[in-house]
C-alpha cells in the first residue's frame, strides 16, 4: 500500500462512526460520580480543586469502561490513585526547574509506553495518567496545595469506585455476554455446516469466553451457576459438530443419513441459540419442542451407524448438559463451584506486579515494537513540551498531551487517532464555544455543562474515537470556563497545539516505525509450529491411549489458537501499512493461512474421536507424531528464512495398505499431509 492510500485508509478509519450497543445506565452512573465531585469541589474547595477532582473522576470512569476482566471498581481506584501520585510527584519536580520536569516527563512517558506489554488496559491507563498529569501540575501553587489536589484526584477515583459497588448495572453482564457470544458462535457454526461440511470457525469467541471465566477468589464464590460449565461444554461441542458434518469421518455426502445430519445440526443451532439467550439475559431456557425431538429421535440407529451415530449421541448428551447448565441460578452464591481453589483464579494486583515486570523486561530487546513505541512516545512528548514552551500560545502541555493520547504501538491506530482527535477537537471546541458565547454560563452552569459533555462521551465512546473527542473537547472548554478562563484565551491555542501534537505523533511513526509487515513471516511460522504441536499431541493420544495426558492436547490447542489470533491481528495491521510485503504477498499469506486453518481442523476432527484408555495403541502413531512435530518445527524455521518447507519426513511414514489397525492412522496422515502441502504451495515463489 502506498503512503497516499495509507493516509486515506487511516483517515477514513479514524473518522468512522460505528454502531455499537450503548450502555446509558453505566454512562449516567459515571456522569453522576463526576457531578458529585465537581459539585462538592465548587461548594467547599473552589474551582481549582473542583477541576482536579473532576480530572480524577473523569479518568477513573474512563478506566472502568476499558475491555478488561478486572473488577470495575479496581480499575477506577487504580486510575485515580496512580493519577494522584503522578500529579503530586510532577508538581514537586516541575516547581523547581523546567529541565528537571522534562526529565521526569521522559521517565514517566517511557514507563507508560512499556506498560503496553502488560496489555492495552494498562497502557491506556498509564498513557492517560501522563496526559492528565501535564494539565493538573499547573493547577496548584504550593506543595500543600499540590498535596490537596492529589487528594481530591484520588477522591474522584474513590467516588467512581463506590458508585460502581453501590449501584451495579447488569451485574456479571460482560461475562454473560462473552459466554453467550461463544454459544451463539457455535450455533452459527452448526447451521453453516449444514451447507458446507468444511466451514471455518473463528475461535475468538471461545478464547474471549475463556478469559472471562478467570475470576478473583471473591467472584468465584459469588458467580451465578449458569456462568460455570457452559464454556467447557462449548469447547467439547465444536469438534463433535465438525466430525458429524465431515463426510470423511461422519455421514456420507448424500442420502438419508446426510439429511438426518442436517436436521441434527439445525436442532443443535436452535438449542445453542436458546442457551445463549438464556445466559445473556439470566432467564429460563425457552426451547422449541421439535429441536429436542430431533436430537433424541428413535430412528437414529436406522439412519446412522458407527462414528456418525456415536457423534450424534455425543452431541445430544452435550446439548442436554448445556441446557441444564444454562438454567439460571438463585442469585449470588449459587455457583456450582464454591471453592476458589477449583476455579480459574485471576491473580490479585499484588501478585500481578511480578508478571507485569516480567512482561516489560521481555520487551527490552532490539526490534521490540513495545520498546520502539516507548522510545517514540517519549521523544514526541518531550519535543512537544519544548515546542509548546517556545511558542507564544501558553498552555504548553496541550501538544504533548495530544501526542501521548493518540500514540499507539501500531501505525494504523496512531495515524487514525491523530486525524480523529483533530477533527473531533474542531467540532467539539466549535460547539462548546458557540454555547459559551450565547449563554455566558457561570461557574455552576459551566460545571453542569461539563458533566453533560462527559456523560455523552461515556455513552458514545464506543462508537468511534472522533465522536468521543467531540465531547472531550467540549468537556475541557466548559471545565476551564468553570474557573473563569475566557474561551478566547484557550480555544485557538488548544486547536493549534492539538494539531502540532498530532503531526508530531504521525511524523514520529514515519521516522521511527515498528512495521508489522516484515514480521508476518515470523507470525506465520509461529502458527505453523503451534498447530503442528497440536496435531502431534492428538496423534500421541492414539499412540498411547492409556498413558497419554489429555491435558497435553488442551494446552497445545490453546497455544495454536493464540498463534492463530496473533497471525490474524498482525495481518490486519499490516494491511494498512505503507510497506511492501517483503517476500510474503497478500495472496501467499491468505493461502498459507487457509491451509493452516485446515490443518488445525483436521487435527480437531481426529481429536473428536480419541480412543478411550482401554483401546490398544495404534501402530505407527508415535513415529508419525514425532515426525510431524519435527517437520513443522523445521518448516517454521524455513518460513522465517524465506524457504519453502518440505514434508518428506511425514510423507515417508504414512502406512501402506488398508489394514484395519492402520486405516485410522493413514486417513489422519493423508489429511494432515494435504494441508501441509497446501502451505508449501502457497509459499512457493
pLDDT, one tens digit per residue, over 278-295 is 998 888 888 777 777 777
Q: What is the largest CA-CA distance in the chain?
A: 90
Specify the residue for cell string 493420544.
541
pLDDT confidence of 661, banded at 50, 70, 90?
A: low
Asked if 559 and 398 touch (Cβ cutoff 8 Å), the reply is: no
* Closest CA relative to residue 452, chosen from 482, 429, 436, 475: 475
118: Cβ contacts below 8 Å, ≥ 6 apart: 355, 356, 359, 360
pLDDT value of residue 337: 44
DSSP state of 656: P
For the chain, what percentages of helix, strand and coil (3-state, to nearest 5) are there?
Answer: 75, 0, 25
pLDDT value of residue 245: 86
* Closest CA relative to residue 409, chosen from 560, 561, 577, 527: 577
pLDDT confidence of 332, banded at 50, 70, 90?
A: very low
pLDDT confidence of 476, banded at 50, 70, 90?
A: confident
Across-strand partners of 345?
215
pLDDT value of residue 473: 87
Set of cell numbers at residue 494: 488548544
Cα–Cα distance measured from residue 456 to residue 641, given in angstroms and rounded to the nearest whole number: 51
- Put residue 582 in one of left, alpha, beta given phi > 0 → left and psi -120 to 50 → alpha: left
Q: How many CB atoms lie within 10 A of CB 165?
A: 11
What percentage of the chain has pLDDT greater than the value 70? 91
Asked if 552 and 537 touch (Cβ cutoff 8 Å), the reply is: yes
pLDDT value of residue 523: 93
Q: Domain residue spans in the chain?
A: 24-169+368-511, 174-215+223-328, 519-683
Strand ranges (E), 456-502: none
109 has pLDDT over 90: yes
Across-strand partners of 215?
345
Cα–Cα distance measured from residue 586 to residue 146, given in angstroms and rounded to the nearest whole number: 55
What percentage of the chain has pLDDT greater than the value 90? 29
45 has pLDDT over 50: yes
pLDDT in tens, 588-606: 888 999 999 989 988 888 8
Asked if 115 and 364 touch (Cβ cutoff 8 Å), the reply is: no
pLDDT value of residue 299: 60
Lowest mean pLDDT among 248-252, 321-325, 534-538, 572-576: 248-252
Cα–Cα distance measured from residue 595 to residue 581, given in angstroms and rounded to the nearest whole number: 20
Angle formed at CA 200 by CA 195 and CA 202, multiple of 5 degrees? 135
Cα–Cα distance measured from residue 424 to residue 75, given in angstroms and rounded to the nearest whole number: 26
pLDDT value of residue 17: 84
Specify the residue for cell string 521517565.
107
* Average pLDDT for the chain: 85
Specify the residue for cell string 444454562.
326
Lowest mean pLDDT among 3-12, 316-325, 340-349, 458-467: 340-349
How far is C-alpha 253 from the geometric centre of its chain's CA atoms?
Answer: 38
pLDDT value of residue 488: 52
b/e map 514-527, b = 16+ CB within 10 Å: bbbbbbbbebbbbb
pLDDT value of residue 338: 42
Top-confidence residue, 481 or 354: 354
> By CB neighbour count within 10 A (0-12 exposed, 13-18 middle, 19+ buried), where does 355 fall?
exposed
Cα–Cα distance measured from residue 201 to residue 532, given in angstroms and rounded to the nearest whole number: 18
pLDDT value of residue 361: 92
* Residues composing the chain: 685
pLDDT value of residue 301: 66
Specify the residue for cell string 446509558.
24
72: Cβ contacts below 8 Å, ≥ 6 apart: 64, 161, 164
pLDDT value of residue 443: 86
Hey, what's the torsion of the CAs at 179, 184, 185, 190, to 10 degrees?
Answer: 130
164 has pLDDT over 70: yes
Specify the residue for cell string 449470588.
332
Top-confidence residue, 143 or 609: 143
pLDDT confidence of 508, banded at 50, 70, 90?
A: very high
Lowest mean pLDDT among 87-96, 546-555, 578-587: 578-587
* Closest CA relative to residue 246, chosen from 663, 673, 608: 608
Cα–Cα distance measured from residue 266 to residue 195, given in angstroms and rounded to the nearest whole number: 11
pLDDT in tens, 517-569: 888 999 999 999 999 999 999 888 888 888 778 788 889 999 999 999 999 99
Compute the half-sphere exposure of residue 563: CA atoms within 13 Å on the CB side of its CA: 25
Q: Is 297 helix (H, G, I), strand (E, B) or coil?
A: coil
pLDDT in tens, 180-213: 999 999 999 999 999 888 888 888 999 998 888 8
pLDDT confidence of 471, banded at 50, 70, 90?
A: very high
Amino acid at each position: 500500500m502506498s503512503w497516499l492510500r495509507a493516509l486515506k485508509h487511516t483517515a477514513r478509519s479514524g473518522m468512522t462512526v460505528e454502531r455499537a450497543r450503548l450502555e446509558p445506565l453505566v454512562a449516567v452512573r459515571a456522569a453522576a460520580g463526576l457531578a458529585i465531585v465537581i459539585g462538592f469541589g465548587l461548594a467547599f474547595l473552589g474551582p481549582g480543586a473542583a477541576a482536579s477532582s473532576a480530572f480524577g473522576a473523569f479518568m477513573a470512569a474512563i478506566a472502568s469502561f476499558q475491555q478488561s476482566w478486572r473488577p470495575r471498581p479496581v480499575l477506577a481506584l487504580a486510575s485515580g490513585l496512580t493519577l494522584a501520585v503522578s500529579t503530586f510527584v510532577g508538581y514537586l519536580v516541575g516547581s523547581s526547574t523546567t529541565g528537571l520536569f522534562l526529565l521526569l516527563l521522559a521517565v514517566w512517558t517511557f514507563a507508560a509506553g512499556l506498560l503496553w506489554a502488560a496489555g492495552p488496559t494498562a497502557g491506556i491507563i498509564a498513557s492517560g495518567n501522563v496526559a492528565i498529569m501535564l494539565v493538573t501540575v499547573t493547577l496548584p501553587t504550593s506543595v500543600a496545595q499540590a498535596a490537596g489536589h492529589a487528594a481530591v484526584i484520588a477522591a474522584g477515583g474513590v467516588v467512581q469506585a463506590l458508585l460502581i459497588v453501590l449501584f451495579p448495572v447488569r451485574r456479571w453482564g460482560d461475562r454473560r455476554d462473552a459466554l453467550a457470544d461463544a454459544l451463539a458462535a457455535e450455533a452459527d457454526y452448526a447451521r453453516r455446516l449444514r451447507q458446507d461440511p468444511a466451514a471455518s470457525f473463528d475461535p475468538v469467541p471461545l478464547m474471549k469466553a475463556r478469559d472471562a471465566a478467570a475470576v478473583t477468589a471473591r467472584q468465584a464464590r459469588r458467580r451465578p451457576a449458569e456462568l460455570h460449565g457452559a464454556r467447557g461444554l462449548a469447547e467439547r461441542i465444536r469438534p463433535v459438530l465438525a466430525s458429524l458434518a465431515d463426510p470423511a469421518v461422519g455421514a456420507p455426502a448424500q442420502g438419508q443419513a446426510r439429511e438426518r445430519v442436517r436436521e441434527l445440526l439445525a436442532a443443535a443451532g436452535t438449542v445453542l441459540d436458546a442457551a445463549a439467550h438464556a445466559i445473556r439475559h439470566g432467564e429460563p431456557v425457552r426451547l422449541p419442542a421439535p429441536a429436542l425431538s430431533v436430537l433424541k429421535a428413535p430412528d437414529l440407529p436406522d439412519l446412522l451407524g458407527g462414528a456418525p451415530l456415536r457423534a450424534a449421541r455425543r452431541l445430544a448428551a452435550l446439548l442436554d448438559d448445556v441446557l441444564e447448565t444454562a438454567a439460571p441460578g438463585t442469585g449470588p452464591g449459587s455457583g456450582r463451584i464454591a471453592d476458589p481453589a477449583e476455579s480459574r483464579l485471576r491473580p490479585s494486583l499484588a501478585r500481578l506486579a511480578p508478571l507485569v515486570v516480567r512482561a516489560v523486561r521481555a520487551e527490552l530487546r532490539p526490534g521490540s515494537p513495545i520498546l520502539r513505541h516507548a522510545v517514540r512516545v517519549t521523544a514526541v512528548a518531550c519535543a512537544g513540551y519544548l515546542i509548546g514552551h517556545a511558542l507564544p500560545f501558553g498552555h504548553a502541555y496541550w501538544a504533548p498531551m495530544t501526542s501521548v493520547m493518540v500514540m499507539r504501538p501500531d501505525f494504523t491506530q496512531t495515524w487514525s487517532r491523530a486525524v480523529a482527535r483533530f477533527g473531533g477537537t474542531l467540532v467539539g471546541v466549535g460547539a462548546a464555544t458557540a454555547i459559551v458565547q450565547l449563554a455566558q454560563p457561570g461557574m455552576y452552569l459551566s460545571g453542569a455543562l461539563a458533566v453533560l459533555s462527559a456523560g455523552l462521551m461515556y455513552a458514545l465512546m464506543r462508537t468511534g474515537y472522533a465522536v468521543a473527542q467531540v465531547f472531550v473537547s467540549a468537556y475541557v472548554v466548559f471545565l476551564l470556563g468553570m474557573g473563569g478562563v475566557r474561551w478566547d484565551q484557550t480555544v485557538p491555542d488548544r486547536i493549534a497545539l492539538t494539531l502540532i501534537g498530532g503531526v508530531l505523533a504521525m511524523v514520529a511513526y514515519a521516522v521511527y516505525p515498528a512495521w508489522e509487515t516484515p514480521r508476518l513471516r515470523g507470525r506465520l511460522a509461529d502458527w505453523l509450529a503451534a498447530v503442528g504441536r497440536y496435531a502431534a499431541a492428538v496423534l500421541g493420544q492414539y499412540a498411547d491411549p492409556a498413558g497419554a495426558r489429555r491435558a497435553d492436547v488442551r494446552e497445545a490447542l490453546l497455544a495454536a489458537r493464540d498463534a492463530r489470533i496473533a497471525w490474524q491481528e498482525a495481518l490486519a495491521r499490516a494491511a494498512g501499512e505503507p510497506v511492501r510485503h517483503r517476500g510474503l504477498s497478500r495472496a501467499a499469506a491468505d493461502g498459507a493461512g487457509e491451509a493452516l486453518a485446515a490443518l488445525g481442523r483436521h487435527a480437531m476432527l481426529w481429536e473428536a474421536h480419541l480412543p478411550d484408555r482401554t483401546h490398544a495403541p495404534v501402530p505407527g502413531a508415535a513415529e508419525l507424531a514425532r515426525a510431524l512435530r519435527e517437520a513443522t518445527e523445521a518448516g517454521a524455521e524455513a518460513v522465517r528464512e524465506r524457504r519453502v518447507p518440505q514434508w518428506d519426513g511425514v510423507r515417508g511414514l504414512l502406512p501402506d495398505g488398508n489394514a484395519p489397525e492402520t486405516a485410522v492412522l493413514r486417513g489422519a496422515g493423508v489429511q494432515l499431509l494435504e494441508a501441509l502441502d497446501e502451505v508449501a504451495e502457497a509459499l512457493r515463489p
